[in-house]
């Protein structure tokens, strides 16, 4: 394994559970009945533990949409043609997609990252676009491994670099709290995520494969068969994540693994979007079980395999809005709730300062 990736993994620490008691004390002295804000209080305490700060205050919110194409699209597993990936990347850059609306609404800083899109964006000049292209889509994993091991490592490093660049460019004051949300774009990526999920969780294929963007019965059967075939085609070792990625894909999923590892390394809360992103979290958790402590499940999507993933990781979704778009839309919405949970301890009065009597 690449030495940089090893170094990141080896320096991931558990969150600081000792600060939770201090945050709990603050919450219990606000002008409200004890525990009356329910999960919001739990979210605030988790941010405190992640950041090692009993009094966390969100200063910046970053949303990354990672894009890549998948060779398995050749097997007629998607309702949309592969060129839609490139078209949607341009739509993101032109600020016309759902995630643009959502990010603007919550005051988030949005970046679109090309890790492995089949289209060419070499002439694109935009403040929101990051070019980390490794290749023009993966191979069809039923014919050949999706990518080389070297490419898999390079993609993970791309994700690590993204977080390190954010810290270098935006981190200005001590104790700033950054929230990181990640989303995806890539035709046929639910097929890839299904294979990863079935492999790591051990749940049968039919229970993790969904209809993605709304495939018909023929394409749905193609998806199930593709996942079954790839799991039979190769020998897998759950202790060798690089090998798993190289055989199944994809570039954007590998980059999200890197982002998750780097967030854990640098003590940043990371908010997962849907099925694709959570498949990256499964892979990252195989590299270090400690990363689970840094994860928030933004929502639970319509994909049946997403519930399987979240249960495996021990994560409770913040939202359940019957969404299945991707693009980090669910994570973005949850990000505003996480920010709100931290505002509570900064902006609410205590019983003492408000002159309100506490319960007997």
For residue 359, the model assigns a pLDDT of 67
Assess if residue 263 is contained within a domain.
Answer: yes
Joined together, the tokens standing for residue 317 give: 């979704």
In this prediction, residues 7-36 reach a mean pLDDT of 96
For residue 235, the model assigns a pLDDT of 96
In this prediction, residues 217-246 reach a mean pLDDT of 96
Q: Is the pLDDT of residue 360 over 70?
A: no
- When divided into structural domains, the chain yields a total of 1
The residue segments making up the domain with residue 183 are 56-340
In this prediction, residue 351 has a pLDDT band, given cuts at 50, 70 and 90, of confident
For residue 214, the model assigns a pLDDT of 80
Assess if residue 304 is contained within a domain.
Answer: yes
Bridge partners, 109 (sequence order): 62
Cβ contacts of 25 within 8 Å, gap of 6 or more: none
Tell me the HSE value of 165 on the side-chain side, using a 13 A CA sphere: 13
247-270: pLDDT as tens digits: 999 999 999 999 999 999 999 999
Assess if residue 103 is contained within a domain.
Answer: yes
How far, CA to CA in Å, does 13 sit from each of 29, 132, 268, 295? Answer: 30, 28, 12, 14
DSSP secondary structure string for all residues of 71-107: GGGGGS--SS-THHHHHHHHHHHTT-SHHHHHHHHHT
DSSP secondary structure string for all residues of 20-74: HHHHHHHHHTBSS-TTTTTHHHHHHHHHHHHHT-SS--EEEEEEEEEEE--GGGG
For residue 42, the model assigns a pLDDT of 98
Assess if residue 250 is contained within a domain.
Answer: yes
Kindly report the CATH number assigned to the domain that includes residue 333: 3.40.50.10210
Assess if residue 113 is contained within a domain.
Answer: yes
Mean pLDDT of the chain: 95
In this prediction, residue 174 has a pLDDT band, given cuts at 50, 70 and 90, of confident
In this prediction, residue 358 has a pLDDT band, given cuts at 50, 70 and 90, of confident
Alpha carbons 201 and 199: distance in angstroms, whole number: 6
Assess if residue 298 is contained within a domain.
Answer: yes
Assess if residue 21 is contained within a domain.
Answer: no
What is the layout of strands, in order, in the sheet containing 58-68?
Answer: 129-131, 109-116, 58-68, 177-185, 270-272, 295-299, 317-319
In this prediction, residue 216 has a pLDDT band, given cuts at 50, 70 and 90, of confident
Would you name the residues annotated as active-site residues?
A: 327
**Confidence (pTM):** 0.97
In this prediction, residues 74-87 reach a mean pLDDT of 94
Assess if residue 23 is contained within a domain.
Answer: no
Tell me the HSE value of 277 on the side-chain side, using a 13 A CA sphere: 33
Residues in the chain: 360
């Amino acid at each position: 394994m690449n030495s940089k990736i090893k170094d990141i993994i080896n320096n991931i620490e558990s969150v600081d559970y000792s600060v939770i008691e201090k945050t709990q004390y603050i919450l219990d002295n606000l002008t409200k009945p004890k525990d009356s804000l329910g999960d919001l209080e739990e979210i605030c305490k988790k941010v405190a533990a992640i950041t090692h700060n009993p009094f966390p205050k969100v200063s910046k919110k970053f949303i990354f949409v990672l894009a890549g194409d998948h060779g398995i699209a050749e097997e007629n597993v998607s309702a949309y043609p592969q060129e839609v990936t490139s078209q949607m990347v341009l739509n993101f850059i032109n600020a016309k997609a759902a995630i643009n609306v959502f990010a603007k609404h919550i005051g988030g800083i949005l970046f679109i990252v090309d890790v492995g899109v089949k289209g060419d964006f070499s002439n694109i000049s935009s403040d929101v676009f990051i070019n980390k292209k490794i290749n023009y889509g993966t191979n069809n994993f039923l014919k050949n491994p999706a990518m080389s091991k070297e490419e898999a490592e390079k993609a993970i490093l791309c994700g690590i670099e993204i977080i390190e660049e954010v810290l270098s460019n935006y981190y200005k004051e001590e104790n700033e709290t950054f929230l990181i949300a990640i989303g995806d774009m890539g035709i046929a990526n639910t097929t890839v995520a299904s294979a990863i999920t079935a492999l790591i969780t051990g749940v049968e294929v039919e229970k993790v494969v969904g209809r993605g963007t709304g495939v018909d019965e023929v394409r749905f059967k193609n998806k199930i068969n593709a996942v079954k075939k790839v799991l039979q085609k190769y020998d897998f070792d759950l202790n060798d994540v690089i090998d798993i990625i190289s055989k199944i894909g994809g570039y954007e999923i590998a980059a999200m693994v890197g982002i998750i590892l780097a967030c854990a390394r640098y003590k940043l809360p990371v908010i997962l979007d849907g099925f694709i992103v959570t498949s990256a979290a499964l892979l990252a958790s195989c590299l270090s079980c400690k990363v689970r402590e840094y994860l928030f499940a933004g929502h639970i999507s319509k994909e049946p395999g997403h519930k399987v993933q979240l249960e495996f990781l021990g994560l409770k979704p913040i939202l359940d809005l019957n969404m299945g778009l991707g693009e980090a839309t669910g994570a973005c919405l949850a990000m505003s709730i996480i920010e709100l949970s931290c505002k509570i301890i900064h902006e609410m009065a205590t019983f003492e300062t408000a002159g309100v009597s506490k319960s007997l």
